[in-house]
Amino acid sequence: MNWKQRTTIGALALTFLVAIGCHDDRLAATARTVYHVGEDGNLYQRVNTYDGTVGHLVWQPWTLVGKPAGLSKLISGPAMACSGVIAALGSDKQVWLAQGSTAHGWVWFALTGVYSNYAPAITCNGQRDNIDVYATGNDNALWHRAYDPPSASWYDWESLGGTLTSGPAVAGETDRVDAFGRDNTNGMSHIYWNKTTLAWSAWEALGGGILGDPAALRYVVSNNPRYRLDVYAQGTDHHLYRKTYQLPAGIFTGSWLGWEVVGGGGCASASPAATFDSGNRVYIRSNDGPCGPGPAHYYESDMDSVSGSYGGWGLIF
Residue 5 lies in a domain: no
pLDDT at 299: 60
What is the 3 state secondary structure string of the chain? CCCCCCCCCCEEEEECCCCCCCCCCCCCCCCCEEEEECCCCCEEEEEEEECCCCCCEEECCCEEEECCCCCCCECCCCEECCCCEEEEEECCCCEEEEEEECCCEEEEEEECCCCECCCCEEECCCCCCCCEEEEEECCCCEEEEEEECCCCEECCCEECCCCECCCCEEEECCCEEEEEEEECCCCEEEEEEECCCCEECCCEEEECCEEEEEEEEEEECCCCCCEEEEEEEEECCCEEEEEEEEEEEECCEEEECCCEECCCCCECCCCCEEEECCCEEEEEEEEHHHHCCCCEEEEEEEECCCCCCECCCEECC
**Is 130:145 a contact under the CB 8 Å cutoff?**
no
CA–CA gap between residue 113 and residue 145 (Å, rounded): 10
For the chain, give the number of residues.
317
How large is the average pLDDT for residues 27-40? 62
Domain at 213, CATH number: 2.120.10.70
pLDDT at 121 > cutoff 70: yes
pLDDT range class, residue 158, cuts 50, 70, 90? very high
pLDDT range class, residue 229, cuts 50, 70, 90? confident
Residue 123 lies in a domain: yes
Residue 198 lies in a domain: yes
Residue 297 lies in a domain: yes
pLDDT tens-digit map of 90-101 = 999 999 999 877
Contacts of 245 (CB under 8 A, 6+ apart): 178, 228, 229, 230, 231, 254, 255, 256, 257
- Residue 249: count of CB within 10 angstroms of its CB: 10
pLDDT range class, residue 15, cuts 50, 70, 90? very low
pLDDT range class, residue 262, cuts 50, 70, 90? confident
Residue 227 lies in a domain: yes
Greater model confidence, 216 or 314: 216
pLDDT tens-digit map of 49-100 = 766 666 666 777 888 999 999 999 999 878 876 667 889 999 999 999 998 7
If you average pLDDT over every residue of the chain, what do you get?
75
Whole domain around residue 23: which residue ranges? 11-315
pLDDT at 289 > cutoff 50: no
CA–CA gap between residue 13 and residue 76 (Å, rounded): 10
Residue 134 lies in a domain: yes
pLDDT at 143: 98
Please tell me the pTM assigned to this model.
Answer: 0.81
Domain count across the chain: 1
Residue 306 lies in a domain: yes
pLDDT at 167 > cutoff 50: yes
Residue 6 lies in a domain: no
pLDDT at 263 > cutoff 70: no
φ, ψ for residue 299 (rounded to 5)?
A: -125, 150
